[in-house]
Structure 1
């Protein structure tokens, strides 16, 4: 049910929808959007980096529009819906007279503004966080079976949007521990788990690849106060722009006068503390903390309704924020307004430049889950990201895209070559090359496993390597070379070496289809003083070493 709105606010929301639709139409995709568009070409219950909600949004958008609007239409709808839910979450008796101030407050929040049209996992995350708080508010006032069902479905939708949603659910529970003894609350948990079961099954079938990557495989680097912790506080400012002093003051001034306000406080402080602690381990990205925008919008609006000084300054600074944001949004379309080349500039141009030289030929991009889907979106051609040991795994590592370009003539594009069969310019003006391969063949799905545990770098003992071939064909050993990569304690590849092996058991000249071949090897001596991890890699047909195994800790 759409809440009753002041006329001015209604007109502003209609204008917001129109602006976001126009922005979506005229703005080229950013790389992450192209990547999620690629998700949507093969709908599944999960993807390498994220749950599937963002792919579902794009699939639904494509039923109504083509091109960029076919990626962003649902985002435009969810943006306005988020404003409507936030308005409904505010109970203050004065709110009807301050619809304009409400709009300025929320629209001036930088990432809420941006995600009004960009289609990223945070777009549904913001919407479902607001919806979760609305259902939760009704639930704590008068729990019922119907509200428990609704709460469970919304919690599942939150988790289908982004894994960070677990923080929203946990901190809300911590604000109201009595829920542990509430039968309706337990019903909502059961409903959420049932709804989320397809994603659990997908994770199981894919060896929990998403969880393993985010928790154990993702590279990091040594702690830097300026970039990690200080950078976290910079992100807190960037989240709200010029209104940040008054918005954070509203947080400090808000008291837990009821159970719902207590939930808002727990959610906000919980996320802030969680990522503050995390900042001592890794660099915190601004969008990771975006969820606090929802509870903060509610608390800040309630605060400004009671404080004339805050009302005045949030409106003034909010309008300044909006002016800056609108200028930048025009710059997303019209490149000369930007001091730098941004992701929305010139991608269709470099795609057209390549396509004009090769026609509908498939293109393999070395180490680029960004360029591969961008080329596919604007060209309509098959693409593949060939990921090697110096890069990272992504959706191309686990889907069937590799099979679509096997034994075809393809263009191989690498930023590491200084000559080739064709040349072109990227959006930033740098020149790159592509080389033709007449019969492309890769085996990036070969998996390597080391059976021993507690391996010490200085021990000269034999280790067992198992190589599993998931393909339907036998792979001749002469086509592959085994290697090893040594990583530092931050999981950064520092050294690669060939790996000398002998076969264990029955000797064979190929790795049988759907079978495992065992090898014996010793760790080659590393130039590193104290490597933290190693990884077994496989090179095929002269291609650079692939990402074929997990990081293995060295003692």
Structure 2
């Protein structure tokens, strides 16, 4: 395959690969990368926030290198492979005359550039989107059983990368609805579902926790035009940088000439419109729309080959984009060059200081799936995140990690309570505080179950709930206290109150292993005028209330 690539193409590709490898080695991890590195320590078919592809990639990287490059090596290879696949997808007879233009188009896109070395779920999403389009182009030209199998496997890999991948598949399908009755397409979907079955099984075994969180439990905010819709429009500019006027002009001027170009335009417009509509209900993160970079590289490059004036503008502005991006990339390593304190700055320093104080004592971070894996990565010491009612669930909530620190002496770190003697500054200026707990014991997997997901907002009414103990040990009830968080209509915690919960059977003093105890409780008074939801948490040994119950709608 590489033999058919122009020498200039290979030279520029090799240059970019070397730059990305050096960047990957010398740049400290960002918090999400540390979190996904934590995923990779225990490979599975799924994780709380995402499908498992990003964890598999990091595990693969660790087989070759240690440190940051041991997290990012596969990302660098996939990024280079993405460029090769995009080039192979283009069949314009003059493409070899414009190799530098191709690299300027691709390398000047901000997130496509950044994900050349960062390891995030979007990295494999970009690669498999490019591969999906490449295989699809050959599939529609000459469908066969072999191509159906390959297409099915690639679609599964897409979905193993990120749930947003469903948009890629759906919008390409919308561009060619005849596929619904095509036997080869049906075979491809069947193969894809079969390959994805292990993740479906994982979701089932974990009570569809990922789907529930992303669709129903995720906190939101009241609609704000500046933060939501205007913010989304700014993101549309950011992914293309200085070339954005010409990029969207080319998208507008690109009229589908065949089934494949129709797929490119449907995919691009579909994703942009989908998230534009979403921006009226939630904040749209920039990386959610990054997938349009793949079809846009193809559309822009094919267009500028035929249009000299636009080609000159794209080339000039693209080089300017690249200069800015390379400057910022150096700033990721050398902090004084970057305009703000970024996630890649100063993490080794705060980790070193904390490790110096606690040495090999496990660290329990309150409500921080970001700091816990960052500390563990750079110190090599055990750390977990203990999530409470003010926060959200994450991988630490479902993987049983608390078992590794049970009944041990731990250093408990919190950003909320000032504790004399131990204060640690983060690079962004925030402080967190710590104290030793000699005999740590938590029961965050206790499950509070209410029969209904909607209750009357009546302070005088008595309600029933069950508490299930999934642990292998019995738990004395006197170790447990109950609290209730009131949330607004956007599922943001606004008030936390104690709850006087009593066992229906007053003779029960112990919550036995793998057993349930029934309680009664009343809703406590709140300063909130009209709370939208509540959820119940359990405090064990006077720790903050946990995330033990689901959000219950108040009517």
Residue equivalent to 2:153: 153
Counterparts of 1:279 and 1:422 in 2: how far apart (Å)? 42
What is the rounded CA distance, in whole Å, between the counterparts of 1:183 and 1:350 in structure 2? 58
1:527 Cα shift? 2.3
d(CA) in 1 for partners of 2:138, 2:47: 33
Moved over 6 A (4+): none
What's the offset of the Cα at 1:453? 5.0
- Please name the residue that 1:167 is paired with: 167
Deviations 1:172-229 (A, max 9, x none): 1111010011101000111000000000000001010000000110000000001100
Q: Which residue of 1 is the match for residue 24 of structure 2?
A: 24
| Cross-structure match for 1:405 | 405
* Aligned position for 1:97: 97
Match of 1:212 in 2: 212
Per the alignment, residue 541 of structure 1 pairs with 541
Aligned equivalent of 1:81: 81
Deviation at 1:359, TM superposition (A): 1.1
Alpha-carbon contact 1:452-1:463 (below 8 Å) kept: no
Report the secondary structure of 2:455's partner residue. coil
Q: Give 2:428's aligned residue.
A: 428
Of 410-419 and 508-517, deviating more is: 410-419
How far 1:484 moved relative to its partner?
1.1
Q: What's the CA shift for 1:523?
A: 1.9
Question: Unpaired segments of 5 or more residues in structure 1?
Answer: none
Structure 2: gaps of 5 or more residues: none
Relative to structure 1, is the Cα distance of residues 163 and 80 closer, same or farther in structure 2, using a 3 angstrom cutoff?
A: same
- Displacement of 1:2 in angstroms is 3.8
CA distance in 1, matches of 2:246, 2:202: 44
Quote how far apart the aligned CAs of 1:431 are: 4.2
Match of 1:194? 194
1:228 aligns with 2:231: no
Question: TM-score by structure 1 length?
Answer: 0.98
Which residue does 1:139 correspond to in 2? 139
Query: 2:177, 2:192 → 1: CA distance?
Result: 18
Contact 2:454 2:552 in 1 (8 A): no
1:451, 1:463 within 8 Å by CA — same for their partners in 2? no
Q: Distance in 1 between matches of 2:521 and 2:419?
A: 37
1:249-282 deviations in whole A, cap 9, x for unaligned?
1110111110000100110111011000000000
Distance in 1, matches of 2:413 and 2:233, equals 39
Deviation at 1:429, TM superposition (A): 4.4
Q: Is the 8 A contact 2:221 2:490 kept in 1?
A: yes
Structure 2: distance between partners of 1:341 and 1:398: 32
1:312 aligns with 2:312: yes
Q: Distance in 1 between matches of 2:436 and 2:459?
A: 45
SS in 1 for 2:4: coil
TM-fit CA distance, 1:323 = 0.2
The Cα shift of 1:524 comes to: 2.2
Give the corresponding residue for 1:286.
Answer: 286
- CA distance in 2: counterparts of 1:480 and 1:531, whole angstroms: 25
RMSD (Å), alpha carbons? 1.2
> What SS does structure 2 have at the residue aligned with 1:256?
coil
| Cα distance in 2 for residues equivalent to 1:37 and 1:448 | 31
- Structure 1 distance, partners of 2:142, 2:187, is 15
Indicate conservation of the 8 Å contact 1:152/1:190, yes or no.
yes
The 2-side partners of 1:427 and 1:552 are apart by 38
